[in-house]
Structure 1
Amino acid sequence: MSTITTEELAETTLLRFATAGSVDDGKSTLVGRLLHDSKSVLTDQLEAVERASASRGQEAPDLALLTDGLRAEREQGITIDVAYRYFATPLRRFILADTPGHVQYTRNMVTGASTAELTVILVDARNGVVEQTRRHAALAALLRVPHVVLAVNKMDLVAYEEKVFAAIAEEFTAYATELGVPEVTAIPISALVGDNVVEPSANMDWYGGPTVLEHLETVPVSHDLSHCHARLPVQYVIRPQNSDHPDYRGYAGQIAAGSFHVGEQVTVLPSGRTSKVAGIDLLGEPVDVAWTTQSVTLLLEDDIDISRGDLIVPTKDAPATTQDIEATVCHVADAPLTVGHRVLLKHGTRTVKAIVKDIPSRLTLDDLSLHPHPGQLVANDIGRVKIRTAEPLPVDSYSDSRRTGSFILIDPNDGQTLTAGMVGESFAAPEPVRDEAEDDGWDF
């Protein structure tokens, strides 16, 4: 692979993707092979892996060691935590989230896949679609990951039989389609040998599709946030204390979705005040338009009371504000989330007090059944919750925007993240029940 210049790198697109697979499906080996064969491994890293492999009596380097960085991961031969890897080819830049496959690490997969545009799900060609494969497909559908790659691994152990691959691909695709996954691409591979990972396989001439890397380099990022309704969560208000710009007042933040244009009518939420974009500063220079992920400063024609936590949106595409949120959540803390739990809800740059009013159901990933009114969610549980916030929030549906349709719940006592949420439809909650025994400022 040729060396990529800084200019070429700047012109490439970015793809965030996650990997998932059951224990011993070879996921870490696949990631290691992908990094190794795409020339994305530093020399000293490869030498360290070769030394570690030799100490174990292995002639070839164990590429799984490139990703399993924790001591416990290396000792047990499993992936425990999410590991992020960054690499690039002349066609695209990548952020890879290598997530665990164990059931008890469901929360880690949710974390890694929540921002992914594509998920690679591995299966062992000898075992086919298993229970954990179905769980991973369900999570990909739940998180609305637009592209799923089914990597049927260890094809070398089934004599590269086309019928084995075809049967697995057909079963998985039918299941994923039923879940609502919009696109599945099945690829037969051998991560250990390198078949169809970066280079086409000479052992599977019956397969005419792309390799894993070819697909990653060419898959369209169809849900590009630049085409969503524009959203700018305000992080900071800039008022320079100098005589050169005595009237300068800018509202800085990273654009979460869409694009903003000079002259555009905007609304500030939750206040509902309106104005027009008078200017946009990007890296200290004025521009006429700015879009998703750029960190900018907006200047408005009117002097409006705006502070951190407010959301600037185009007036024509303004979301409704609500204090009642219904959402699908994944509980990530060891302590359970219960009805009546008093929490902090962080949405964008705004954090407000909230109360868990109800937990209508818990999802059983084994068969996708719903367990009604479980009363609580424990670590790795996925369920529906109804939340009442102390202040109105401008939330989008997660199906419309994964950035402004998501939130986290935080323990107000120690700041621990409790739950990751994906906003569903809002609902009219009953009147809040006040705690008559004590007024501590949490009832609203």
Structure 2
Amino acid sequence: MAGKEGEGAEQSRSPDLLARLDTELGRIDEQLRALAAAKDRVQSLLDAVVTITREVELPAVLHRIVTTAMDLVGARYGALGVLDESGEYLKQFIVAGLSERERAALADVGFPRGLGVLGHLICHPEPLRVDSIPSHPASVGFPAGHPRMRTLLGVAISVRGEIYGDLYLSERRDGRPFDVHDENVVVALASAAGIAIENVRLLEQVRAGSEQFQRLLLPTLPDMRPFGAAAVYRPAAEPHHVGGDWYDAVLLPDGAVAVVIGDVVGHDLHAAAAMASTRNMLRALLFALRTPPSAVLTQLDLTLEAITDSPVTTTSLARVEPAGSAWRLHWSTAGHVPPLLILPGSRAEYLFAEPGLPLNVNSAHHRPDHTRPLPRDTTVVFFTDGLIEHPDHPIDESLDDLAELATTHAALPLQDLVQALADNHPSDGHDDMAILALRTPR
């Protein structure tokens, strides 16, 4: 009898035990799901941070911050308002998520200046979650044509301890209001965004300073009359610091004009310093020597080899000399691309000739001289390879494109011609470029 009673009690406890076990398993499953979701959020945040830090231009960084924040929390709309110098109003407003029709409806509406709920975040730079924008005490309504927005998540972005702007997100795609998890992940993103903005601003300062430094190293062309002369330098499109391209033109005591174009290998301060020292040495040699261009380049090579550790350098040195009633081009090259000749009424052609070895390779190597008559109203264009190099195009194709471009714009004033070549060059812009053109009088 007692055995049967014990067996019955055990059977009655079994359902309770199973129920508790199911509950516990459910709780564990819920915790595992929460952990998996947290892991996904962290991974998404890390991916977003990496995406932001890859940008190297400030407008691209600001737009990327908005779109990555939208992706992190599944928001339909996003914006970033940049504060003005007073820190009280918005001077810039970057928007993402608007359809073409929504943009068209707001075409005549200026961007927000920081009133209403947006202004509340400016005055109180703490994370802000709003489930009903129209019901918020600071709400002043939306302008005509503005899409309907109900929810808002706002987070301030600080750069070097000062508020730079505010990140605004509206309308989760699932229709739910923003929650504390959304707030936490956007706050973390805003922290990384502040660092990314600061890095890009520093990069822009370095880039601007480097470009100014590069331009200061290049000469201002002297009065070349009776010749016309024009030059242009363009830094690389990529965020290199400084480059080694240079040009120069010198009126010589014997009545000739010396023209130089060159390119020191590298994109750093060492290349820029080598460019400056090479240009100055060459200037001194041009005034000291009354020899053909090949001999001047040979002496320059020997000097560089003896007293510098300069990188490999390509260059072309030319003299434009009187020849009866016209002129003669007398030139020699050290591994440089050929100059481009534009005769009146003719297609531009290259002055292909034995290029010789670059400087700092073998100073004993002989470099030949070349000559070509220059009739009146003839243009000679010297340039560096940054004008034509493109990884997806053969060099011959790029040279043909440049010759066609020069032919098309040959009648332009000389400064306009070099600008047209620099603006429409066939290269991919990965390298800096220099152009110097000389035109004989009519």
Normalised by the length of structure 1, the TM-score is: 0.21
Structure with greater helix percent: 2
Structure with greater strand percent: 1
The higher radius of gyration belongs to: 2
Normalised by the length of structure 2, the TM-score is: 0.21
